[in-house]
Chains A and B, each alone.
Chain A
């Protein structure tokens, strides 16, 4: 690929910064090369096939380890997160296939829960995922489950449910409990401020301009058509 010929060119990652989707766990420097050109080559296809084959023929004791490498490779290679929507089906399949792993051995494995949470993070509405995990008692001893669930609920405006999610986790002594407690405390402080803010808004409701943009435009729209 033609590269910028100007002296002192920016490092590759910066020239392609918009082709990297932020990852919660970050990216290592070695994964910071622009792979869009590579995606058009056969090598990527072959590597992917090799992973599937490794999974098919695997007979060791920890198939999850292979999945984790596969997922990481996918994130690094399809760095824009877009191309053919590679990651989502992979997370879906990993979570599904390992449910049946001998005696539910991954039920309590934090690595397995992390894959589930990553999966939930890819979905606009992952409510069902959390219900499923709860129903099948997957990852229920980890603080991560409750934090992820409560974060989602809070973003949806389900404050009471978020509150109870934190409490359930604390009651269950999910680990690490310190972190769970700290996150719960932060949540409670946000709620306190929210209630305060609402009270203030209520008080200033007579103000000439309603601060809801939706209302404003409804007026505009009616004006335009009338």
Chain B
């Protein structure tokens, strides 16, 4: 940790920040899909990222699905319109929402508008913050229940009201879990975008 404190600070551009946050979502979402056993392990491969080995999606259909979502995320991020990303995990048979991974996003609107001076932050510092979140996702088996039945995923985006709805997206309810347990995970910040992670899950004894 001391080593990075002395690292050189970089100017964070809007584009740079969008790229960082989008890449984070790619890795975080892939890690969740793997660690929660939602897709078979054959759909993933280990890659190096953030000084860690993370599980990345390698199955074509899954890649293009994520790619399409991430493309839209990055457009929204660039316009400062993305407030929240939610990964919803639903039981196929029961249609019940079992898990909800939330990423709250705060944006420096000044940078988006081009009116504020660019903030500075060391790249290594950002990497380290992201590393910590990815590690927590990997370790989440510590408290998350076993997903015993086949599950599907949905991705939700909370966007500013004044933004138009893209063709591939539709309005949705928030898909909350009744009686959920929450564990707040770590956050990272590029100083343009600040992302806070949280997981909500069903933690009833009747889940056995």
A and B directly contacting (CB within 8 A): yes
Interface residues in chain A, defined as those with a beta carbon under 8 Å from any beta carbon in chain B: 6-7, 10-11, 13-14, 17, 20, 22-29, 31-32, 68, 72, 110-111, 114, 117-118, 144, 178-179, 182-183, 186
A68 touching B142 in the complex, CB below 8 Å, given contacts A24-B148, A186-B150: no
Least Cβ–Cβ distance between B143 and chain A, in angstroms: 4
CB–CB B139/A29 < 8 A: no
| Residues A25 and B142 in contact, CB atoms below 8 Å apart | no
Which of the 9-residue segments B56-64, B116-124, B160-168, B200-208 touches chain A? B200-208
Q: Are B148 and A22 in contact (CB under 8 A)?
A: no
Told that A25-B145, A32-B183 touch, could you supply 6 new A-B pairs with CB distance under 8 A? A14-B142, A24-B148, A28-B181, A114-B205, A178-B93, A182-B149
Query: B208 near A144 (CB under 8 angstroms)?
Result: yes
Judged by a CB distance under 8 angstroms, whether B141 is at the interface is: yes
In the complex, the chain A residue whose C-beta lies closest to that of B148 is A24
Contacts of B183 in A (CB 8 A): 13, 29, 32
The answer on a CB contact under 8 Å between B205 and A25 is yes
Among the listed B92, B94, B135, B146, which residue makes an inter-chain contact with A14, where contact means beta carbons less than 8 Å apart? Answer: B135
B144 adjacent to chain A (CB < 8 Å): yes
A202 to chain B, nearest CB (A): 22
Q: Do residues A22 and B208 form an inter-chain contact, with CB atoms below 8 A? A: no
Interface residues on B, range: 20 to 34
| Chain A neighbourhood of B184, CB < 8 A | 29
Checking B143, B182, B202 against A13 with a beta-carbon cut-off of 8 angstroms, the contacting residue is B143
Kindly provide the distance from the CB of A115 to the nearest chain B CB, expressed in whole angstroms.
Answer: 9
Tell yes or no: B136 within 8 A of A by CB.
yes
Query: Which residue on B lies nearest to A110, using beta carbons?
Result: B206
Whether B208 contacts A117 by the Cβ 8 Å rule is: yes
Q: Is the CB of A26 within 8 A of B207?
A: yes
List B contacts of A114 (CB < 8 A).
Answer: 205-206, 208
Residues of B within 8 A of A186 (CB): 150
Q: What is the distance, in angstroms, from B27's C-beta to the closest C-beta of chain A? A: 18
Q: What is the CB-to-nearest-CB distance from A156 to chain B, in angstroms, rounded to a whole number? A: 18
Q: Is the Cβ of A68 less than 8 Å from the Cβ of B146?
A: no
CA distance A108 to B162 in the complex (A): 55
Q: B1 at the A/B interface (Cβ < 8 Å)?
A: yes
Contact A23–B149 (Cβ < 8 Å): no
